[in-house]
A = this chain, B = another copy of it.
Amino acid sequence: MEAQRDFRSYRIGEVAERLGVTTRTIRYYEELGLLESRGDRRKGGHRLYDAAAIAHLQQVLKLRDLLGLSLESIVVLAEAEVSRAALRDTWENDDPSECDRLRILEEAHPLITRQLELVHDRQVTLSRFARELRRTLRQIEQRRAALQARSGAA
């Protein structure tokens, strides 16, 4: 069913390139506590990221780019992702209690719902903007046609 899971670790440069940001951005998010800094540094102090961490970062970037949220509000809204990532991480390994699983799921639900609401609001606003632009475009075309007709008749 599921493709082979990705257990590789990625270095910060690889992650940055894949997600279209600079390494500075990733380090800055870590400073802010946006990324679960798992202290997963190899000997040289190099940061390492697994598939779950990358997915989480990608989610943060979407909230930033598509909704224009401040990093402060993303901290709140992306808790869901952290919990879910933690859950996914340990789902089979550490075998968390069913209570823990349930708790994480019930915390994540309203946060994902909130994200979906914000996306819908933005979709509505964008539709209105698009309609307005099309109206402007039609107006321009009509005026141009009118001008050309007049100069042709003169």
Candidates B106, B113, B136; contact of A112 at CB < 8 Å = B136
The reply on A92 being an interface residue by CB < 8 A is no
- Evaluate contact between A116 and B98: CB separation under 8 angstroms: no
What is the size category of the interface that chain A forms with chain B?
A: 35 or more
Contact check, B106 vs A133: say whether CB atoms are below 8 A apart.
no
Given contacts A65-B68, A66-B125, 12 further A-B contacts (CB under 8 A): A66-B122, A66-B126, A68-B68, A102-B144, A108-B140, A109-B137, A109-B141, A109-B144, A112-B137, A113-B137, A116-B133, A116-B137
Q: Quick check: B140 and A105 within 8 Å, CB to CB?
A: yes
A128 shortest CB reach to chain B, Å:
10
Evaluate whether A143 and B98 lie within 8 angstroms (CB atoms) in the complex, with A125-B66, A126-B119, A126-B122 already known: no
Chain A window 114-150, contacts with chain B (Cβ cutoff 8 Å), 1 for yes, 0 for no: 0110011011011101100110110011011001101
Tell me if A27 is interfacial: C-beta within 8 Å of chain B. no
Q: Does A47 contact B (CB under 8 A)?
A: no
Contact A101 B147 (CB under 8 A): yes
